[in-house]
């Protein structure tokens, strides 16, 4: 898609958070530019999501020093949906370690839609990565707890620590998703048939459905992203949520697959790890610098927020956040 960055100079910056006034200035321009876009469609495959206001738009940047920069509907609540995958994966990696998480869940992009059954069959029952539904359900199934309630309590506590405040479940969203999650049930049962889930696959789906129904806002997403950006330490509370190694592994998985089959294009244009959700949320992480949280319900055909992508692209370019951007220290005419 056209990310509307024409005329936005590509700044290059390494190792430092830009000054607060510079962040505010860039945020305002990115918000204004993205606000003009009306492309995309509000998700309707989960019936309750189609009630979202298509004009809602919030954009927040949280820096690793604890600064918050917000514009628009940053406190409008919505269900976290697939963005939860990134943070539950981090919690799981913190519990079972790098090697086992790689073996059981994987990190390779499927190149197929997030709810693909074909991808499982093509890869001998392996879920491939934690950002598609198969990998996310497999990850959720490995979370600690003897019961579904205990597993979900561990997840909700972890997500709340990432956000720096106590999060809750949107019960209306949960009930609606539980009534319409037949495809996820089929995915879980297929994974169980390959031995990728050893417990009750339907219990795993129920916990996963609750996890996706957790209520957040754009500010929460920015803080959660900034926690990964700061090596696992929440910049508002000062609490270590996960290790620096887990943050690194999670961001690598996000870079590979965070925007589903558009992940390569996203990384090419924006150059940052990110994760989208079909309710219109988008979190992006500039390691060592900031987390960016966006909320705008209209989605592209892959399920990614249109205005969220455009705003984030402008922020990344103007603030020099692209992790692949660099400048030579060589000065023409000067000796090496």
Task: Name the average pLDDT for the chain.
Answer: 88
In the prediction, which pLDDT does 218 show?
A: 98
Among 265, 267, 251, 146, smallest CA distance to 207 is for 146
Query: Which residues are annotated as part of the binding site?
Result: 82, 133, 177, 184, 208, 260, 278
Spell out the residues 6+ positions from residue 227 whose beta carbon is closer than 8 angstroms to its own. Answer: 162, 164, 233, 234, 235, 241, 247, 291
Q: Do domains 20-78+217-319 and 83-212 have the same CATH topology?
A: yes
Residue pair 325/10 in contact by the 8 Å Cβ criterion: yes
Q: 285-321 pLDDT, tens per residue?
A: 999 999 999 999 999 988 899 999 999 999 999 999 9
Mean pLDDT of 110-132: 56
Q: 64-116 pLDDT, tens per residue?
A: 999 999 999 999 999 999 999 999 999 999 998 878 777 766 566 555 455 55
Q: 154-193 pLDDT, tens per residue?
A: 999 999 999 999 999 999 999 999 999 998 999 899 888 8
Query: Which residues are annotated as part of the binding site for substrate?
Result: 82, 133, 177, 184, 208, 260, 278
Tokens at residue 309, please? Answer: 């992508």
Selecting from 3.30.565.10, 3.40.980.10, 3.40.710.10, 3.30.70.1070, what CATH number does the domain 83-212 have?
Answer: 3.40.710.10
What are the φ and ψ backbone dihedral angles of 79, each rounded to 5 degrees? -80, 140
In the prediction, which pLDDT does 122 show?
A: 45
Q: What are the residue boundaries of the structural domains of the chain, listed by start? A: 20-78+217-319, 83-212
What are the φ and ψ backbone dihedral angles of 139, each rounded to 5 degrees? -65, -45
Among 322, 319, 311, 308, smallest CA distance to 280 is for 308
pTM: 0.89
In the prediction, which pLDDT does 108 show?
A: 62
Tokens at residue 165, please? Answer: 């405040």
- The DSSP secondary structure of 140-205, one letter per residue, reads HHTSS-SSHHHHHHHHHHHHHHHHTS--EE-HHHHHHHHHH-HHHHHHHHHHHHTTS--S-HHHHH
Superfamily of domain 20-78+217-319, CATH level 4: DD-peptidase/beta-lactamase superfamily (3.40.710.10)
Strands 168-169 and 214-216, how do they pair? antiparallel
Whole-angstrom Cα distance, residue 172 to residue 150?
A: 21
Whole-angstrom Cα distance, residue 86 to residue 43?
A: 20
């Amino acid at each position: 898609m056209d990310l509307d960055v024409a005329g936005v100079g590509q700044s290059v910056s390494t190792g430092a958070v830009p000054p607060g006034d510079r962040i505010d200035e860039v945020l305002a321009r990115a918000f204004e530019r993205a606000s003009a876009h009306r492309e995309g469609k509000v998700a309707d495959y989960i019936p309750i999501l189609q009630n979202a206001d298509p004009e809602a738009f919030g954009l927040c940047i949280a820096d690793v020093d604890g600064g918050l920069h917000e514009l628009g509907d940053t406190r409008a609540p919505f269900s976290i949906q697939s963005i939860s995958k990134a943070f539950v994966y981090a919690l799981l990696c913190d519990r079972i370690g790098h090697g086992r998480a790689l073996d059981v869940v994987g990190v390779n992009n499927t190149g197929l839609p997030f709810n693909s059954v074909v991808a499982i069959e093509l890869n001998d029952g392996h879920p491939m990565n934690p950002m598609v539904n198969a990998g996310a359900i497999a990850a959720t199934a490995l979370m600690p707890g003897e019961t579904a309630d205990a597993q979900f309590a561990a997840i909700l506590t972890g997500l709340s620590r990432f956000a720096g405040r106590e999060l809750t479940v949107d019960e209306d969203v949960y009930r609606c998703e539980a009534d319409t999650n037949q495809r996820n049930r089929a995915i879980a049962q297929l994974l169980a048939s390959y031995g990728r889930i050893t417990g009750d696959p339907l219990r795993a789906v129920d916990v996963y459905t609750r996890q996706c129904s957790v209520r957040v806002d754009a500010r929460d997403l920015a803080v959660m992203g900034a926690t990964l950006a700061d090596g696992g330490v929440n910049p508002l509370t000062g609490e270590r949520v996960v290790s620096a190694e887990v943050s690194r592994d999670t961001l690598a998985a996000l870079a590979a697959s965070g925007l589903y089959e558009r992940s390569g294009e996203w990384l090419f244009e924006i150059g940052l790890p990110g994760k989208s959700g079909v309710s219109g949320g988008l979190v992006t992480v500039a390691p060592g610098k900031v987390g960016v949280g966006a909320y705008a319900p209209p989605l592209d055909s892959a399920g990614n927020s249109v205005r969220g992508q455009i705003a984030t692209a402008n922020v990344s370019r103007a603030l020099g956040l692209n992790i692949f951007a660099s400048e030579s220290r060589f000065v023409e005419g000067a000796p090496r």
